[in-house]
Amino acid sequence: MEKILTHPVDELLASFSAASLPLSQALCISSHLERCAACHQKVQRLNGLGSELMQQLKPSPASSELKERMINRLDILTQETHARPQETHVSSVPRCLQQFIQTGYDKLPWRRVSPDIHNYELCRDSNGAKVELLRIKAGGSPTTHTHMGDEYTVILEGSFSDETGLYHQGDFLVRDARHKHTPVASQDRECICLAVTEGPIQFTGFFSRLLNPFVRRSYT
């Protein structure tokens, strides 16, 4: 396997470790981490930082009633121990993507975008970001494009190059609206990427998300 050259920056890994990233972006980071031991280790250290920060909070004592309820539930919990969902064995697909891809890339209902490129939309995030797979045939190139918002890309299979360099499996890239780029898949094999694009809808989602802390939610 080629060496991974491009990684998420540290402050992005910190947000991942804090789970304060939109889930679509976290999905990209996670796909990268599964291939990158160095970043995986960084995240483990960052989790340690999270734990320190949590311990510095002023403790908020739990009621004795909550404790009693908890202890009484333990036996029920043990009985209910749910079997782990069966392991799927699609080794080439990152595990975090197996919630969308159960049978490998070839069986997906790919949609033709241009002669060189197919896409398959996995889902939309709550902020409107589009999460999709792009499949570029060997030597193929989508037309030059710019983005409305940031685009996160992780290479899952194959490699591609653009004006800035040559990227391989596991490489993680962020492109923003200022970038105009022309990716070209390598000649010898097709390239499959995970791409997350923030759409304009993001803003409505974003502002209303700001309201979330003020909306008290509870189970009652």
Q: Write the Ramachandran bin of 40: left for phi over 0, alpha for psi from -120 to 50, otherwise beta.
A: alpha
Q: How near is the Cβ of 120 to other proteins at its closest, in Å?
A: 14
Question: Per-residue x/- mask for other proteins, residues 159 to 198, rule CB under 8 A?
Answer: ----------------------------------------
Q: How near is the Cβ of 188 to other proteins at its closest, in Å?
A: 29
Single out the residue of 7, 83, 89, 95 in contact with other proteins (rule: CB under 8 A). 95
Is residue 181 within 8 Å of residue 147, measured between CB atoms?
Answer: no
Question: Which CB sits closer to other proteins, 72 or 187?
Answer: 72
Question: Per-residue x/- mask for other proteins, residues 38 to 67, rule CB under 8 A?
Answer: --xxxxxxxxxxxxxxxxxxxxxxxx--xx
Within 10 Å of residue 212's Cβ, how many Cβ atoms? Answer: 8
Contacts of 116 (CB under 8 A, 6+ apart): 136, 137, 140, 141, 142, 185
Single out the residue of 10, 146, 176, 189 in contact with other proteins (rule: CB under 8 A). 10
Within 10 Å of residue 205's Cβ, how many Cβ atoms? Answer: 17
